[in-house]
Structure 1
Amino acid sequence: MAKMLSKVAPWLASRRDAADPAGLSVRILDGQDTPALTLLAQRDPVTNVFILSHLRATGTAAPTSGGAGVIGVFDDGILTGACWAGANLVPVQLDPALAPLVAEAANTSGRRYASAFGPADAVLALHTQLAGLGHRAHEVRDDQPLMVIEGPALVQPNPGLALGNLADFDRILPACAAMFEEEVGYSPYLGGREFYSRRVEGLIRQGHSMVHLNDQGDVVFKAELGAVTDHVTQVQGVWMNPVFRGQGLSAGYMSAVVEKAQQLAPVTSLYVNGFNTRARSTYERVGFRQVGTFATVLF
């Protein structure tokens, strides 16, 4: 990295008109970059499960029809770091020293970002640069343990947890919305219900939604697999109905989540707010261990 920093910063005016094939460059990746992005992300398949899941689903690093894409940083023509830039910013093997390059490219796109999440050092470096460009965060969560479990859970799984069913969509969607609002502080329906509803429906159709409805049809517990590859799944959206909290049910449900997730991939991962000591204790009881630290910046 010292080699990179010794060069004239390529986002400065003095570099804009200079063709320097031996220097750093940044651009949006296209389909021809798919193998390079895949190799870059596979250096850490747990940390990079988001982008690897995207590549698995689409088969390409090219921008989506909605305009989301991947910002790539190249050194001597070699992809050395990247960042997904869609509704959210997600660094991929991005050295914090490259944050100014990526932040400038993200800002130039004119997109509004709901959040940035991923490895804490890269996300916080991006936040510093984006703040200087006028992107103000309303919350920074700088300590989110990244946890994994391989092999069976240490607690007996709750047999009531099942895959979500589209027949129960009208019960599952409000539970998902309640979790989202508790987690980020505003409704996922801001700007309309359609996008979020499609997201929840898609997870159910993919078999990535897990839920327990009691005999009265109430959602007791729910969780989703937000990213899935052949090697790793990432659990998201964990939510217990407030009526049933404090009854010691969470560990059994999380064990059931692990059981179902490991039917798709051998490693189950998640990240959790560092201040949520109760959740961390539950995950550790189930058998999760910390392997890294994420951060999330909510814009």
Structure 2
Amino acid sequence: MPVRALGEGERAAVERVLDQDPFAGAQVAERVATHGLSWWRSDGRIYGYGGGRRVESLCWSGAHVVPVCASGPAVAAYADLLGSGPRACSSIIGRADAVLGLWERLAGHWGPARDVRPHQPLLVIDGEPAVAPDPEVRLVRPDEVDALFPAAVAMYTEEVGVSPLADDNGRGYRRRVAELVKGRRAYARFVGGEVVFKAELAIVTRRTAQVQGVWVAPHLRGRGLATAAMAAVVHDALRRVAPSVSLYVNDYNTAARRVYANCGFQPAGAFATVLF
């Protein structure tokens, strides 16, 4: 089976594969840039597929499983490897064809899934947004984490379907929110000290900044707030962080898809997510 664990000596080959799909590979690219390929420095392993010493595709296996540039034979080989042991991940995320191919082969070993989202449009923008940015949307300051946290919990619970407070009363999730704020990657609009819009650059690479955690206070939804707010996030991220901004959205979320289209995002394929 032409699948093997990759190490630091093959980093150049790994980066070449990641550059072939900088949006689907963003999560892996950020981890490689931060921790390298030494498994003991990270929280997962990266596997490569290819004959001989070639690396044609990748699969990150840790808290999430993320296939990158995975053809049908590569998907089958990764599934054979991953299915030989118990599930350790909380999700499978990536290009829809690879994720659904993995899940078709792994469901008998790892099932059942809590949720399968088979079609999540991947959207990208690399120029100024089509609407004027909301001047009230700004980076969250470190002293505002307490104000941001309830909105972050509400977004996570609504989007993922479980509360981030369940395992450790939210301590780990709060650390993550605080890290994003400290890294100047969390945006919000405040009204009377309360968050009415929020979004984060959850993943940042030299090729893209991937937006996650977009949320509007329920009582303000449908009033056009999100489009200009997202334009502010895009404007700042392109100016300060990366040459493109990307995200993926559930296909049934028609309101969010309309916001992103109005902002100027363009389709770049589809993701799928399997949640456990």
For 1:57-68, list aligned pairs within 5 A: 57-58=34-35, 60-65=36-41, 67-68=43-44
Match of 2:218 among 234, 242, 247: 242
Amino acid at match of 2:109: L
Match of 1:258 in 2: 234
RMSD: 1.5
Q: How does 1:151-166 map to 2 (within 5 A)?
A: 151-166=127-142
- Could you say which residue in structure 1 is the equivalent of 2:25? 48
Name structure 2 gaps, 5 residues minimum. none
Segments of 4+ moved more than 3 angstroms: 64-67, 107-111
Matched, 1:178 2:154: yes
Question: Residues 64 and 252 from structure 1, CA distance in 2 versus in 1: closer, same or farther, beyond 3 angstroms?
Answer: farther
Which one has the largest radius of gyration? Answer: 1
The equivalent of 1:98 in structure 2 is 74
Equivalence for 2:203 = 227
Alpha-carbon contact 1:62-1:70 (below 8 Å) kept = no
- Which of 174, 179, 191 is 2:167 aligned to? 191
> Are 2:251 and 1:274 equivalent residues in the alignment?
yes
- TM normalised by structure 1 equals 0.87
Q: 1:133 aligns with which of 109, 117, 134?
A: 109
How much has 1:110 moved relative to structure 2?
A: 4.0
User: What is the alpha-carbon distance in structure 1 between the residues aligned to residue 5 and residue 87 of structure 2?
Assistant: 14
Contact 2:6 2:47 in 1 (8 A): yes
Cα separation, 2, equivalents of 1:173 and 1:68: 27
How many residues matched?
274
Q: Deviations over 1:87-143 (max 9, x none)?
A: 111111111322232123334454521111110000001111110213321211111
Displacement of 1:56 in angstroms is 2.3
Q: Distance in 2 between matches of 1:41 and 1:291?
A: 16
Rounded to whole Å, the distance in 2 between the matches of 1:181 and 1:266 is: 31
**Identical positions, percent:** 38
Distance 1:171 1:33 in 2: 44
Q: 2:179 aligns with which of 197, 202, 222?
A: 202
2:4 match: secondary structure: strand
Query: Are 1:121 and 2:97 an aligned pair?
Result: yes
Q: Return the TM-score normalized by structure 2.
A: 0.94
Q: Distance in 2 between matches of 1:87 and 1:211?
A: 28
CA distance in 1, matches of 2:39, 2:147: 34
Structure 1, unpaired ranges of 5+: 1-9, 11-23
